[in-house]
Structures are given as structure tokens and as C-alpha cells.
Amino acid sequence: MRSRIQPDRRLTVRMGLTMFLLGLLYVAFAAALVVLLKSVVLIVVILGGLLFAQYWYSDRIALAALKGHIVTAEQYPQLHAIVDRLCALADMPKPKVAVAELDVPNAFATGRNADHAVVCVTTGILGLLDEKELEGVIAHELTHVAHRDVAVITIASFLGVVAGLMMRFTLYSQAFGRRQDQNTAMILMAVMVVSIAVYAISFLLIRALSRYRELAADRDGAILTGQPSELASALVKLTDSAARIPSRDLRSVQAFNAFFISPVGSLAGLFSTHPKLERRLDQLAKLSEQMGRPL
């Protein structure tokens, strides 16, 4: 079934370019590990297994990490009603609906494709937004599913995850805690250097893609509901509320910023997963003017 949410060619190009560059980086990373560790089979099994697990089980992994669980229409009738209405409007399959038991107000979409997608909201956002604002947020997340950028971000983040694991493994390896020959020390150091370089490059590529995909989802989600002002109001509330959440709670979910509709404790500029709030609000204000509904 084809969604009424129109494809974004610029987003498609960015996703393709990011995947191509990360693919090259992935091959170079694997080749470097093979040369350093001298085990083709081991590297292929490890990297292939991790990629498969992250892609195939991305929805379960994300929900488990954020204390989320699938909910029924009987448990959350208003939430399901919003999703049903927007899916009918967009002419797209209804994703699974989940709620995460978190005070941090936020929402995200995950899953490898539209038929295996999950839209999740936190208990914090349910208590913060009114129905129209929540509808704007859900429309934003459904747009991510329609654009297929959820799967791309999931796959794209794989390389950074592997590089990060390699860095930690090398750093905390027992080999550093005992006497070792010079060759072993050089190999471990080389693995560390390669992993750091791969992590840094994938970090920047993913964030560049993430910032654009958020703008695309804001725009098309607002078009779907016809109410840009409601999404703008929700974004302002989410940003203001995040400033009042204890730092400990924010740190516990900050690793998922690339998936959230609103960042928590996000870095600025090249290191941010989201565009500045002012830019998002400006885009929504212009869209409201075009619709004849000024903010």
C-alpha cells in the first residue's frame, strides 16, 4: 500500500549518500580488522551477526532499552485512536503502538520497515501534551516510517556501535592489565586508532542525516495533520520540559537522541542530532502561512 505522504527526494539522496559512505567505511573497517587481527572468519561472523541483530531486532532492542512495551487499544484508547486516524489519512499500514515508562517526555519510531514499525511515546509526553499536540507528534513519527529513514538510521548507527564496542573492548581488555609483547601492544593500539576514526566519521555522517530527516518529518507531519501550530507548540513544550528533567534521567536516554522527536541534552552544531528549535519553528511558521493558518 502506497502512503499519501510524498517521498522527499532530498532526504532520499541524503540517505543514499550516507549509506554509500558508511558502506565504504564499513568495508575499510572490516578490512583493517582482518589485517590487524588476521581472522577473516571471526570478523565476518562478528560484524555480520551484529548487523543482522541490529537490523532485524531493532524495534525490540529500542523498546527494551527504553522500558517500552506494546499496548492495546483497550489500555490506551485515545493514543490508538490518534494513530488509527492518521494512518487512515496517510493511507499507510498501522504500526504497533507502544508506551515507554519514562518521565522524560518524548516519542520515537523504530522498526526495519512499515510492516514491522513501532511508534512509541513515553508516559511523560502523555501527561504533557494535549490531544492535538500529541497528534502532531505522532504524525511526525509516522512520517519517519513512511520515509523509511528509521531503518536507514538503524543501519547507519550500526558501524558507530561496533566501533564503540571495539574501543571499549580494546581499552578494557585484560591484555592491558598484564605483560604483553610489543607486537600485541601495537596491534591493540592500531585497533583502538582505527575504531576511534571510524566512530568519529560515522558519528558526523549520522548526525548530518538526522538533522535533515527531522526537518522533513516536521514538514510532512504538519502537512498530514494540517495543523503546523500544534506541532510547534508540542516542540516548545518538549524543549522547555527537558530543561526541568534531572540530568541523571536525561543521561540514561541520551544515546537514543537520533530517534527522538526532541533531543535531550543534545550537543550543538555538527554534533547535534536535531536542528535548532528556532529553525524548526521557523519552518513550521512558513508552512502555516502557506496554509493560511499563521502560528
Query: CA geometry: angle at 56 spanning 102 and 253, to 5°?
Result: 20
Candidate list 133, 135, 141, 230, residue with the active-site label: 141
Q: How far apart are the first and last CA of the chain?
A: 34
Question: Helix H segments across the chain?
Answer: 9-37, 40-56, 58-65, 77-90, 123-126, 131-147, 149-172, 182-225, 228-242, 247-253, 277-291
Kindly report the CA angle at 252 between 53 and 64, in degrees rounded to 5? 35
135 catalytically annotated: no
Q: What are the grid coordinates assigned to 202, written together?
A: 560515522
SS3 295: coil
Find cell 488509527 and name the residue: 84
9-37 helix and 149-172 helix, angle to the nearest 10 degrees: 20
Give the rounded distance of the alpha carbon of 145 from its chain centre.
Answer: 11
Catalytic positions? 141
